[in-house]
Amino acid sequence: MFDSLKWHPDRMVLGDLVFHLETEADASWRLRDSGFVFYKQRFQIEQYAHLWNELGCFAASNIIELGIYDGGSIAFWYEHFHPSRLVGIDSACRGESSYFRWYRQSRSIDSQIKLYWHIDQSDRRALEVIADLNFAGSLDLVIDDASHLYAPTKTSFEVLFPRLRPGGLYIIEDWSWSSWTSVPSFMEERLDSELSHFIFEITEAVGSANKNHSCREGGPRYFDSLLLWPDIAVIRRGDKPWDGRKRFSVDEHRTAHGRRRRWV
């Protein structure tokens, strides 16, 4: 699909779909009837192209995306994976745009896509209910493009990551925002909640996977690997089963010698 993208200074085009680039958006685009307002830039899409090329034939039938804004990313990922079920969750109350409704109807995919509005990614119970309601089996892919803050991101991860199948992927976008030259104002106010701190914890969990006293050498593990690009962190699920009776905690899978770091 990535080879079919047509790039223009202010938009990306995929077949009959128009994605207005957020960095070039103006007031008329926010009428939301001539295309999606797309909160991704070309270099981010190119990182995804490299990711899928590196992973080879990665298929995803059950997908959750956190943070969907105008629905453009939902359409983008549907066109790439053609999943059986794609669930989008957003804390805003805006609802579907006329363009998104046209998109669903033009593809006859009402049953494959379900959107949930006014759901905060830190609402553990809501995420549990949504996941259980929409997916009979394991998840294949979770993409987090929501708050970009430490605590809410960690909450979502601890709810959804154990629900991934072995080899499934959990992707966290914009993990490196605290290292950017220019930081959005809402993030600048929360420098005590840098998302990179959570990636450090994931790194520790990956490194501890085979050395933890509760896991025999080379045995089953929750964390298989971590891949990092400048804007996306990709955590691959290991093969250790999760029965759902115990709340999953990243901290329980980090071996800490001495004082364990904790972040706000």
Instruction: Note the pLDDT tens digit of each residue in 132-155.
Output: 999 999 999 999 999 999 999 999
pLDDT at 156: 98
- Assess whether pLDDT exceeds 80 at residue 236: yes
- Assess whether pLDDT exceeds 70 at residue 29: no
> Taking Cα atoms as reference points, which of 19, 108, 146 lies closest to residue 72?
19
Residue 160: pLDDT band (50, 70, 90) is very high
pLDDT at 219: 72
CATH class of the domain at 2-253: alpha beta
Q: How many CA atoms lie within 13 A of 118 on its CB side?
A: 3
- Top-confidence residue, 32 or 36: 36
- Assess whether pLDDT exceeds 80 at residue 220: yes
pLDDT at 213: 47
- Mean pLDDT across 252-257: 77
- Assess whether pLDDT exceeds 90 at residue 262: no
Q: How much is the pTM?
A: 0.91
- Mean pLDDT across 102-120: 96
Q: What is the distance between the alpha carbons of residues 231 and 177, in angstroms, rounded to a whole number?
A: 8
Q: E-strand spans in 77-231?
A: 85-90, 113-117, 139-144, 164-173, 223-228
